[in-house]
Structures are given as C-alpha cells and as structure tokens.
C-alpha cells in the first residue's frame, strides 16, 4: 500500500508523512487531535529533502549561511535545525487551531443543550404533555393528555416542534 502526493503525484510509502520528491505534507488536510503526534524525524526528513532538492526556505537558508560565515556544509546542518524548529511550531499551531475549533463547537453544543432544556420545560407544560421519553438531547417522544397517540418533538432552529 502506498500514498500518492496530492501536489506532485509521487508514490510514497504508506507510513510517509512527507512526500519524498517535493517534501510537502500533502496527504491529508485534517489533523486528528486524538492521534496526532509530533515526530521530529519526519520534520528532519522534510528539511533534508529540501536541502537535497535545493528548495530551502530562503530566509532560513540565508540565516544559516550567514551564521556559518559562508561554510555551506555547516550552513546545511544549521538550516536543518532552523527548519525543524519552524515545522514543529507550524504543526503545534495547527493542532492548537483545531483544538480551539473543537472546544468552541463543544461550548456551542452545551449552550444549545441548556437553551433546549429550558425551552423543553415550557413546551411540555404549555402543551399538556404527561409523559416523555428521551430519544436524544434534542429529541423526545411525548404523550399528551388530550390524545391517545404519542408524538415526537425535536429541537430545531432554537425551538421545540412536533415532527
């Protein structure tokens, strides 16, 4: 089994995190919080591919070259350190952004649930409901005093409705 790079089309080993040809991480757009781990080996591999293909990030290459007084071999080693540090920071930033999105979504769901719970109490008392059976946080089966049949009510668009 192999992975195909979304950018250049190169076939890569299944476990590859970065394309062996272009050095980009282009196999997946999503980062899963549960199974995301930062593996510096992958970052070193990507940085080394950049050096081999002469596709270094110019600002980092210039800094490494200057710090090593023009010694290209030493500059390569310094570039690897700089680039790995940048890649690691970028990966952590992406994880933080995804985690913030997940936390916001959880807060939004909890806020909706609290609002739904408050409105449910009012709906039940106004409509003469005598029994309720929870289907989910936003859906109930209800029985009315005035009707022998049960109904399903659902919380949608900020209000409880009979469906």
Q: How many domains does the chain have?
A: 3
What pLDDT, in 10s, does the model give residues 137-150? Answer: 788 888 877 777 78
| Strand 139-144 to 129-136 pairing | antiparallel
Residues 93 and 135 in one domain: no
Could you report the per-residue pLDDT of 82-118, keeping only the tens digit for each?
Answer: 999 999 998 888 888 887 887 777 777 667 777 888 8
Are residues 85 and 45 part of one domain? Answer: yes
116 Cβ contact partners less than 8 Å away, ≥ 6 residues apart? 137, 138, 155, 160
**Three-state secondary-structure class, residue 134:** strand
- Give the separation between CA 86 and CA 162, rounded to whole angstroms: 54
Residues 108 and 144 in one domain: no
Share of the chain above pLDDT 90, in %: 28
Q: Are residues 47 and 65 in the same domain?
A: yes
- pLDDT > 70? residue 35: no
Query: Are 101 and 121 members of one domain?
Result: yes
Poorest-pLDDT segment among 35-39, 54-58, 86-90:
35-39
Q: Judge if 22 and 66 occupy the same domain.
A: no
- CB burial class (10 A; 0-12, 13-18, 19+) of residue 158? exposed
Q: Structural domain of residue 139, as residue ranges?
A: 128-163
DSSP 144: E
Q: What element of type H or E holds 25?
A: none
Q: Cβ–Cβ contacts within 10 Å for residue 23, how many?
A: 21
């Amino acid at each position: 089994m192999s992975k195909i790079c979304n950018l250049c089309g190169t076939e890569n080993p299944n476990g590859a995190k970065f394309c062996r040809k272009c050095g980009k991480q282009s196999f997946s757009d999503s980062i899963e919080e549960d199974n995301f781990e930062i593996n510096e080996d992958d970052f070193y591999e990507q940085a080394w591919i950049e050096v081999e293909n002469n596709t270094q990030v110019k600002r980092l290459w210039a800094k490494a070259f200057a710090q090593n007084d023009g010694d290209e071999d030493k500059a390569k080693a310094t570039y690897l350190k700089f680039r790995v540090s940048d890649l690691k920071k970028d990966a952590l930033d992406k994880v933080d952004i995804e985690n913030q999105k997940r936390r916001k979504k959880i807060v939004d769901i909890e806020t909706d649930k609290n609002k739904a719970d408050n409105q449910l109490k009012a709906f039940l008392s106004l409509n003469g409901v005598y029994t309720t059976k929870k289907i989910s946080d936003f859906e109930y089966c209800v029985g009315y005093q005035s009707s022998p049949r049960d109904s399903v009510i659902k919380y949608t668009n900020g209000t409880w409705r009979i469906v």
